[in-house]
Amino acid sequence: MEKGYLILETGDMFEGEWIGSERETSGEVVFNTSMTGYQEMMTDPSYAGQILAFCYPMIGNYGINQYDNEAFQPALSGVVMGELCEKPSHFQAAENFSDQLDKAGIPGLTGIDTRALVKKIRELGTVKGVLSKNKAADQKLLAEMPPGVEEVSTKNILTFKNNGPHVVLMDYGYKKSILHALLKENCSVTIVPYHMTLEQLKTLKPDGVLFSNGPGDPMKLKERLPEIKKISEYYPSLGICLGHQLLALAHGAQTKKLSFGHRGGNHPVKEAETGKVFITSQNHGYTVIEESIPSSLFEVTFRNVNDKTVEGLQHMVHHITTVQFHPEAHPGPSDTAYIFKSFIEKINPKAAGEISYAVK
């Protein structure tokens, strides 16, 4: 294997062995602490434009299967890891980890001291970096703007028929597991581009709307906030991850960037009403500022046990529920899977596309 380098914008450099695509790349360097699920992480559209460092020491030991991709095409910029296993052992393994990197055109490094890298990110906050075969970072690569929601959202309307209520899934970079969670609850699901308007949604006659996860700063979609507000006041709405942030912003709250984000499968959140703690899967770099949330409109339903950040909201007038974590959690804990059931219970099929849920 050729040598390769992860060069941070701070000048810090980590040497490893090059794997995957030959192209050099740049992106925000982030880390995930999950012990399993590298295939799902690689294909999660929320990582668009990021270089993902796996904290677990060995990656690839159970291979890549044909079932667990969260999107048709990985959107991340690159991956780094401590050790790569090229001889996976699992009955469903169809290819190894580096095969998927090659097919997706994604470069990576193995043999990296990921503990030192994570310590550096925790010390400095999330930084941009370059994956290169040269020891000098290409400044043009560092200056490139990362892809956003526009690149990962569907371009076409996709429909999945079922016998239950009809849910529109606003696609900001949705995970396949969210779709499967809705289908498991017998919902019909229509996946639509992120820029759909209320008037366009009315023609689809949904019973409820789910605002999905996705990559990047929610304020990059600030021009969409007035329409998001109208949609969420008209239809029962559930926001997950980026969808949670967008709904909060649309109703008057503010967001900020976390120092190094929440990315992993063991994040504890506390339910405000019961005091019960749930273990959740998370993948985000921004949070809703609690002091900015209109107290006359929303109550905080969940808080992060570790840093007390807002993890969930409930509107006091409209049927709007949001969670910062991933209740579908594939892979990961299923503690909060009931969030989908609770959302569906609020949907009134008789009101599909005809009755506004807004209080006049």
Give the residue numbers annotated as catalytic, written as ranges. Answer: 241, 326, 328
214 has binding-site annotation:
yes
The single-letter DSSP state of residue 112 is -
- The Cβ of residue 295 has, within 10 Å, a number of other Cβ atoms equal to 10
**Alpha carbon of 116 to those of 53, 112, 123: distances in Å?**
11, 9, 10
| H or E segment and range at residue 180 | helix 176-184
- The Cβ of residue 49 has, within 10 Å, a number of other Cβ atoms equal to 21
Can you give the C-alpha Rg of the chain in angstroms? Answer: 20
46 has binding-site annotation:
yes
Q: Are 85 and 73 in contact (CB under 8 A)?
A: no
Q: Are 179 and 189 in contact (CB under 8 A)?
A: yes
216 has binding-site annotation:
yes
φ, ψ dihedrals at 220, nearest 5°: -70, -15
285 has binding-site annotation:
yes
34 has binding-site annotation:
no
**Using CA atoms, how far apart are residues 56 and 115, in angstroms rounded to an integer?**
10
Give the bridge partners for 320, in sequence order: 237
132 has binding-site annotation:
no
Kindly tell me the sign of the dihedral angle through the C-alpha atoms of 40, 337, 174, 262: negative
Question: What's the longest Cα–Cα distance across the chain?
Answer: 66
Helix axis angle for 225-234 and 242-250, nearest 10°, is 90
Binding site residues for L-glutamine, as ranges? 46, 214, 216, 242, 245, 283, 285-286
Binding site residues, as ranges? 46, 214, 216, 242, 245, 283, 285-286
